[in-house]
Amino acid sequence: MNVGKWFRCKVLSLTAMLVLGIIIPVMAEQAQDTLSLKEIVDTAVKNNPAVIESQKRWEEKEARIPLAKAWTNPQFGIMKDDIPKSSLNPFDAMMTEYTFTQDIMNPSKLKAMGKMAGSDAAMTKANYQDKQMEAYAAAKTAYYDLLYADKALEIGKENQQLMGQLVQIAQVNYSTGMVPLQDTLRAQTEFSKMTTDLLSMTSMAAVAKAKVNTVIGRKADTPFTVKEEFSAPPPDFDLTTLQTEAQAEKPAVVGMEQQVEMAKNGVELAKKQQLPDYQFSIGYKDRKQTMMSATPDTWKMEVMVMLPIWQGKNKAEIKSAAASLEAAQASLATMQSMTELDLQMALTEAQSAWRQIDLYKNTVIPQAEQTYQAGVVSYTNGKVDFMAVLDSLNALRNVRLDYYKARVNYEKAVADLEKAVGRPLFTSGTQP
């Protein structure tokens, strides 16, 4: 078999492999569920394990508010007194005393404890809302990572098809003596390398799909496909407005504000520990009537006051609560500063990605396509060497990927911007 026939057979076999590599996954995808961005985000916000955990913790804290304001359970006692020493039977006692006792915490303390529990519940609710936004942003990020992985695989397959055409051109030029055997060998090698690259891209897409499954609370290997959606509007966001909104409404900031409020209530409660608590007791004495004794039954009432006379302990509680308040205030200031920084960074990234999208779409990609087409024509006519055409093909692949990467990065930057603000910034049906 001559070299020309050998290359023709190799090209046909590799082309068949490529066609099968494209058709079989497509047929498999048609049998899978196709998820939209809205479905992915809505499922993540509802089913993400971290969201469910924070929701249940919030419900727990809400249920504890009445407990914090409730009195302690009363005590009921029965005492048998004056049991004869010759008997161990309590029913031989000459007197039975029934006692009901209730501890009464100072009402101002109960009120402060209720406020603390309310602030704790509000802080936990804010954490739940923050987890929802985290799941929202994570779902978007995972979705666009999957889109990029799928697009990289698609562009890789398209590039391999173009490479297959170059292999054929190189074989024809070699058979006519226009190019050396080295060109055909190099073309064949590059075609084979692209097959290896496609395998790596397939693995990358599988990992990206597993991340989507994980963030929406499903098994990592659950099969599905996604619809391509780029829904973010242009980055015409006013930073000052976003910062004002974030400081007022972002769940993480609101949660820190509630932590400060709880610490304030803690200081108030510590000061009120200097107030007395009470205990009320009422009893009834049932005396056994005998021929020798006719003592009547009697009632007794008792009020006790617990005096907080150990001022050293009270002062230590107040000092500890005040330090906790200062720490919470410092944490709030840090959160506010980090929110401003996150907003600035996300908006800058979004604006940069938007400019890249325009540049790639209107300038870089058209130039790369023209360069590649010109290189193919020149190589066919023997005016340039194979390396020049290969470089232009790789450059075309890279700019296509970079363009798609810029689109993905823009959507992810907007998701980070939404997370920094604490809510979706545009109506897309995907709401936490």
Alpha carbon distance 169, 175 (integer Å): 10
pLDDT score of 71 more than 70: yes
pLDDT score of 212 more than 90: yes
pLDDT score of 17 more than 50: no
pLDDT band at 18 (very low <50, low <70, confident <90, very high): very low
Alpha carbon distance 352, 355 (integer Å): 5
Residue 129 Cα to chain centre, angstroms: 11
Assigned token pair, 142: 């995972």
Give the chain's mean pLDDT: 84
For tokens 């200081």, name the residue: 267
Tens of pLDDT along 336-369? Answer: 999 999 999 999 999 999 999 999 999 999 999 9
Alpha carbon distance 377, 124 (integer Å): 66
Q: In whole angstroms, how large is the CA radius of gyration of the chain?
A: 38
The whole-number pLDDT of residue 319 equals: 93
Half-sphere exposure of 363 (CA within 13 A, CB side): 5
Assigned token pair, 143: 């979705």
Cβ contact 235:350 at 8 Å = yes
Q: Return the CATH number of 3-70+105-273+308-421, one of 1.20.1600.10, 2.40.50.100, 3.20.20.70, 3.50.50.60.
A: 1.20.1600.10
Alpha carbon distance 406, 4 (integer Å): 42
Alpha carbon distance 304, 238 (integer Å): 64
pLDDT score of 11 more than 50: no
Tens of pLDDT along 112-127? Answer: 999 999 999 999 999 9
pLDDT band at 432 (very low <50, low <70, confident <90, very high): very low
pLDDT score of 387 more than 70: yes
Percent of the chain with pLDDT over 70: 89
Alpha carbon distance 47, 51 (integer Å): 7
**How many Å is the maximal CA-CA distance in the chain?**
141
Alpha carbon distance 381, 358 (integer Å): 35
Cβ contact 140:409 at 8 Å = no
Task: Give the predicted TM-score (pTM) of the model.
Answer: 0.78
pLDDT score of 139 more than 90: yes
Half-sphere exposure of 299 (CA within 13 A, CB side): 5
The whole-number pLDDT of residue 181 equals: 73
Bigger pLDDT: 408 or 201?
408
| Nearest to 45, CA basis, from 162, 122, 178, 140 | 140
The whole-number pLDDT of residue 86 equals: 79
Alpha carbon distance 34, 55 (integer Å): 29
Write the DSSP symbol of residue 71: P
Tens of pLDDT along 275-334? Answer: 899 999 999 988 876 655 667 888 989 999 988 887 788 889 999 999 999 999 999 999
pLDDT score of 255 more than 90: yes
Task: Domain ranges for the chain, please list them.
Answer: 3-70+105-273+308-421
Q: What are phi and psi of 89, to 5 degrees?
A: -85, 115
